[in-house]
Amino acid sequence: MNLTISGHHLEVTPALRDYVVTKLDRVTRHFDQVVDVNVLLTVEKLKEKQRRQKAEVTVHVKGRDIFVEQSHEDLYAAIDQLMDKLDRQVVRHKDRTQDHHHDPVKRMNTEP
């Protein structure tokens, strides 16, 4: 799995990088066919007192790209909510790609 973590108007600290990696472990635990992950952490300066932290992730899995974004006042809270959304989408994608057809039950002849 290729992981890219980048920041826009933000320096990605080792603590922030470790936090994202530990949160991504939950997603990769549910679905192991993840090829590529791109995480973008952004600080948007709207007004002097109002700042918005935004986290975006693009996950390339076999057959599909999954994109999720989340904004919050706190970057760690945005990452938490982002990983919750991503986890739900990855589990839904995994459920769609699995084969749900079962072999028919063989009837046993109960005659003596």
Q: What's the pLDDT score for residue 48?
A: 57
pTM > 0.85: yes or no: no
Write the CB contacts of 64 (distance below 8 Å, at least 6 apart in sequence): 93
As a whole number of angstroms, the distance between CA 93 and CA 112 comes to 49
As a whole number of angstroms, the distance between CA 93 and CA 61 comes to 9
First to last CA, the chain: 59
User: pLDDT tens across 81-103, in order?
Assistant: 999 999 999 888 888 887 666 66
- In the predicted model, is pLDDT for residue 61 greater than 90? no
Domains and CATH numbers, the chain: 2-75 (3.30.160.100)
Question: Which of the two residues, 45 and 54, has the higher pLDDT score?
Answer: 54
Position 17 confidence tier, pLDDT thresholds 50, 70, 90: very high
The alpha carbon of residue 98 and the mean position of all alpha carbons in its chain are separated, in whole angstroms, by 19
